[in-house]
Amino acid sequence: MVGAILLVLMLGLGGCGGVDGGPLPSPSSTALTPSASPVSPQPTPSPPPAGRTLRSLGYLNGPGEQLSVPEAAVVSAAVDQENNVTVVMSQPSAAEVADYLRATLPAAGFTITKDDPAALAMTFTGFGWAGSFTGSATAAAVLLRPL
């Protein structure tokens, strides 16, 4: 880009001559060499999977607008207190909930502090809350406590 601008300026000034009326020196070949690396398009990040916020599930406490669970979540038990927010889900599978949280927590502003896919366990923080996820063959749970 800079080389192209210099070329246009040099060509425009070339017809005017130098200070004493003589020709201007020719520009160096390095100034005219265009960049060899083309700009490659950046991949478009995929949007996070659809989910339901805690607020839409009726929770009054916790990061209700920021934290979500999978759209297909079937909540089998709930705790909604100032010092403890818990969502226990019987569906989808714990592995699917873990994958959902991995995809959505960072995008929502949370920091995953530990993730053990083999144990179906995860911890995270954000918005003044410390969270944990755990799963089994029959259920998945997200627990939140204020920091």
- For the segment 79-115, what is each residue's pLDDT rounded down to a tens digit? 999 999 999 999 999 999 999 999 999 999 999 999 9
This prediction has a pTM of: 0.68
Q: Report how far residue 47's alpha carbon sits from residue 59's, in angstroms, rounded to the nearest whole number.
A: 25
Q: What does the pLDDT look like over 20-77, one tens digit per residue?
A: 555 555 555 444 444 455 555 655 555 567 899 999 999 999 999 999 999 999 999 9
Burial of 97 by CB count in 10 Å (0-12 exposed, 13-18 middle, 19+ buried)? buried
- 24: amino acid identity, one letter: L
Residue in the structure block whose two tokens are 């179906």: 120
Contact assessment for residue 87 and residue 54, using Cβ atoms and an 8 Å cutoff: yes
Burial of 144 by CB count in 10 Å (0-12 exposed, 13-18 middle, 19+ buried)? buried
